[in-house]
């Protein structure tokens, strides 16, 4: 039983990228799919696919590497945890790592990146950061 499925998914992605694996498997949850959509839109992963096997869902994530074989993901961190929720206002979400990184934010408009939340004039719970 996994208590924090977001932290487990981020750890699996981090470990797979450090070992230079092509793909990794994650547990399925709608929030994980939303986070992976942000990662894919920002160019941190190649893609992902939801797989159903024996009425159980899982997610297969294809990791992205540059032409030298180095991982695109330098750091991936969980910000808001089950024991300590972290909320950020619109002005706190303007830029992260000089625009090279992204904070994934759960807002009233869905799970979106920090720059999209700033443009939409909304704040929310900061789920994780990646750069």
pLDDT of residue 50: 97
Among 79, 78, 81, 69, CA closest to 18? 69
d(CA 117, CA 70): 30
What single DSSP character describes residue 96?
S
Pick the CATH number of 5-130 from 3.40.50.720, 3.30.56.10, 3.40.50.300, 3.30.1370.30: 3.30.1370.30
pLDDT of residue 1: 66
* Boundaries of every domain in the chain: 5-130
Q: Following CA atoms 62, 39, 73, 128 in sequence, which dihedral angle do they give, to the nearest 10 degrees? A: -130
Q: What is the pTM of this model?
A: 0.93
pLDDT of residue 10: 97
pLDDT of residue 94: 83
Which regions of the chain does DSSP assign to beta strands (E)?
Answer: 23-27, 45-53, 56-63, 76-78, 87-88, 102-107, 110-113, 124-130
User: Residue 23 has which token pair?
Assistant: 């793909």
* CA atoms within a 13 Å half-sphere pointing along the CA-CB vector of 9: 23
Evaluate the CA torsion angle 20, 25, 26, 30 in order and state its sign. positive
pLDDT by residue for the chain (131 residues), tens digit each?
678 999 999 999 999 999 999 999 999 999 999 999 999 999 999 999 999 999 899 999 999 999 998 999 999 999 999 999 999 998 998 888 887 899 999 999 999 999 999 999 999 999 999 99
pLDDT of residue 41: 96
pLDDT of residue 109: 93
């Amino acid at each position: 039983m996994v208590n924090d499925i977001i932290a487990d998914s981020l750890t699996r992605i981090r470990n797979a990228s450090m070992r230079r694996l092509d793909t990794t498997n994650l547990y399925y949850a709608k929030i994980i799919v939303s986070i992976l959509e942000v990662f894919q839109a920002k160019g941190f992963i190649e893609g992902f696919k939801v797989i159903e096997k024996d009425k159980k869902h899982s997610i297969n994530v294809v990791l992205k590497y540059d032409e030298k074989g180095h991982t695109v993901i330098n750091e991936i961190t969980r910000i808001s945890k089950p024991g300590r929720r972290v909320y950020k206002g619109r002005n706190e979400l303007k830029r992260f790592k000089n625009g090279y990184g992204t904070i994934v934010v759960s807002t009233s408009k869905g799970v979106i990146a920090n720059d999209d939340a700033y443009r939409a004039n909304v704040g929310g719970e900061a789920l994780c950061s990646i750069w």
